[in-house]
């Protein structure tokens, strides 16, 4: 009976170890709660794009149908140094996951030694040994599991950070490129206007020669011409700066890139929008903030596990002999089972309590940062929806104003040629028309930039469900 009891006791030990190994202390993670609106406020009056898949997933800039922009955007992922740095940080985070997972397994070490000793009047004795030691700290309370959970969530946050850096780089390049093309459009208008002013100046000189116009009329017409020429030249400064910035974004020296002049010949694209709840998965910065909160939550379990005892097992064995010929033979073998060490901290002057409190506060801070990121994301979408909607209405009004200005300039010029209006009347009307031309282009450029900003606020073409897993056992949240 006693033998049977001892047998049952021995069998219960590994069973108890398995039960203990299933314990994981600390709170399980749940995504921080936040109220998500059912619809965007500024969607009222917004023209929804049809079909809904018009925005390409991934290469979202293709929606602008600009081959040169597509060419430049393709170089961003290859040569942009901010993206290269973020990719290196992701690889670092993945290595941390592998290091944490190593805690699941025992550690094996081997060594060998030789020695020779002797005493006076006795022959020396040689000793040869080779041994191996295996040690293992059982993860009874889930400290290793929580560490792996934390490092994996951090790696997923790094993956989302990488996508956010990509999104920012692509969006910045698109905005710079569209601003550059807006300048090209302004210069085209200024050059065309300058040609008209030159004709008007020549007309005024002819009238002055005929005695029907004053010298002041000629000087005013010349001033108008030189002012337009100066504005046209001024656009070259900003254009060069935009071109240089684009070169840096694609990993080139500014001297290596020249972008041909190409005025805008397209209007703002139709951008499909998702319901607000989808923004939580579409925005990489929001996904990164959520994963950081998950990593911080797992660290609470790591801190709590320090309150519980740790159990370490070890065993060693090898070969030892005084004759090298018998060194690796079975009679020279030895083994040691144990020791098994159970360790518990009784007093630490509040260290573990402080560490646990620190971990809980860190999670609360990350959770608050996640909620703030969500709110900021909603705000950005609302801002750009409102901006595009209002700019569309402004463009319609501005187009009417430009049409009226052009008609007024034509009538005033004809009256001047007929001697019914002064040169000053024509110059004033020319100024008004040029101002309306430039305002019209400025609004178009702002609408194009606003389209990029809205796409960026919606997360581009990325989705958290497409996120590369932290390892082969990566999970979606």
Kindly report, residue by residue over 120-177, the tens digit of the pLDDT: 666 776 676 777 788 888 888 888 999 999 999 999 999 999 999 999 999 999 999 9
pLDDT of residue 47: 54
The CATH number assigned to the domain holding 172 equals 1.20.1600.10
Alpha carbon distance 454, 392 (integer Å): 14
- 120 within some domain: no
Residues 6+ apart with CB under 8 A from 244: 254, 257
- 124 within some domain: no
- CA torsion 466-468-472-477 (nearest 10°) is -60
pLDDT of residue 462: 63
Helix or strand (DSSP H, E) at 449: helix 423-457
- 115 within some domain: no
Alpha carbon distance 183, 179 (integer Å): 6
Helix or strand (DSSP H, E) at 137: strand 125-137
Would the pLDDT of 202 be above 90?
Answer: yes
b/e map of 419-449 (b: 16 or more CB within 10 Å)?
eebbbeebbbbbebbbebbbbbbebbbbbbb
- CB of 459 closer than 8 Å to CB of 271: no
Nearest to 263 by CA among 70, 72, 433, 444: 444
pLDDT of residue 447: 96
Confidence of residue 475 (pLDDT cuts 50, 70, 90): very low
- CB of 286 closer than 8 Å to CB of 213: no
Q: How many domains does the chain have?
A: 1
Q: How long a stretch of residues is the chain?
A: 477
- 473 within some domain: no
Alpha carbon distance 20, 139 (integer Å): 8
pLDDT of residue 45: 58
What is the span of the domain harbouring residue 54? Answer: 23-108+142-309+353-466
Q: What is the mean pLDDT of residues 242-255?
A: 95
- 117 within some domain: no
Alpha carbon distance 181, 64 (integer Å): 13
Whether the pTM exceeds 0.75: the reply is yes
Would the pLDDT of 52 be above 60?
Answer: no
- 178 within some domain: yes
- 322 within some domain: no
Helix or strand (DSSP H, E) at 375: helix 351-417
Q: What is the mean pLDDT of residues 363-368?
A: 96
- 176 within some domain: yes
């Amino acid at each position: 009976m006693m033998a049977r009891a001892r047998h049952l006791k021995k069998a219960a030990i590994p069973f108890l170890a398995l039960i203990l190994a299933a314990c994981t202390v600390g709170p399980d993670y749940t995504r921080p709660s936040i109220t998500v609106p059912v619809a965007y406020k500024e969607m009222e009056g917004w023209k929804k794009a049809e079909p809904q898949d018009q925005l390409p997933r991934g290469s979202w800039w293709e929606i602008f149908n600009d081959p040169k922009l597509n060419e430049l955007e393709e170089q961003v992922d290859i040569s942009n140094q901010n993206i290269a740095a973020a990719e290196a940080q992701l690889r670092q985070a993945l290595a941390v996951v592998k290091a944490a997972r190593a805690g699941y397994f025992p550690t094996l070490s081997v060594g060998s030694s030789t020695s020779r000793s002797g005493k006076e009047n006795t022959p020396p004795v040689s000793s040869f040994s080779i041994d191996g030691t295996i040690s293992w700290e059982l993860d009874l309370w889930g400290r290793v599991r929580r560490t792996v959970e934390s490092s994996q969530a951090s790696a997923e946050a790094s993956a989302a950070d990488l996508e956010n850096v990509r999104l920012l780089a692509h969006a910045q390049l698109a905005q710079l490129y569209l601003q550059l093309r807006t300048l090209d459009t302004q210069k085209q208008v200024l050059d065309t206007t300058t040609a008209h002013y030159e004709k008007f100046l020549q007309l005024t000189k002819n009238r002055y020669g005929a005695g029907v116009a004053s010298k002041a009329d000629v000087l005013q017409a010349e001033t108008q011409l030189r002012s337009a020429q100066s504005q046209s030249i001024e656009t070259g400064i900003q254009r060069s700066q935009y071109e240089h910035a684009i070169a840096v974004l694609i990993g080139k020296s500014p001297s290596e890139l020249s972008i041909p002049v190409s005025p805008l010949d397209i209007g703002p694209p139709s951008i499909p929008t998702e319901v607000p709840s989808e923004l939580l998965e579409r925005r990489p910065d929001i996904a990164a903030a959520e994963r950081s909160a998950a990593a911080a939550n797992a660290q609470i379990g790591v801190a709590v596990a320090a309150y519980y005892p740790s159990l370490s097992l070890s065993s060693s064995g090898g070969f030892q002999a005084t004759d090298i010929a018998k060194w690796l033979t079975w009679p020279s073998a030895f083994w040691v089972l144990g020791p098994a060490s159970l360790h518990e901290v009784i007093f630490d002057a509040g260290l573990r309590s402080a560490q646990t409190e620190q971990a809980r506060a860190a999670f609360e801070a990350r959770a608050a940062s996640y909620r703030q990121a969500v709110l900021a994301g909603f705000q950005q979408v609302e801002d750009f929806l409102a901006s595009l909607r209002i700019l569309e209405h402004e463009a319609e009004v501005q187009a009417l104003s430009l049409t009226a200005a052009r008609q007024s300039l034509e009538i005033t010029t004809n009256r001047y040629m007929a001697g019914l209006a002064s040169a000053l009347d024509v110059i004033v009307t020319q100024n008004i028309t040029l101002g309306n031309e430039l305002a019209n282009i400025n609004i178009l450029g702002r609408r194009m930039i606003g389209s990029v900003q809205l796409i960026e606020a919606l997360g581009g073409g990325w989705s958290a469900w497409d996120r590369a897993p932290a390892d082969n056992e990566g999970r979606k949240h």
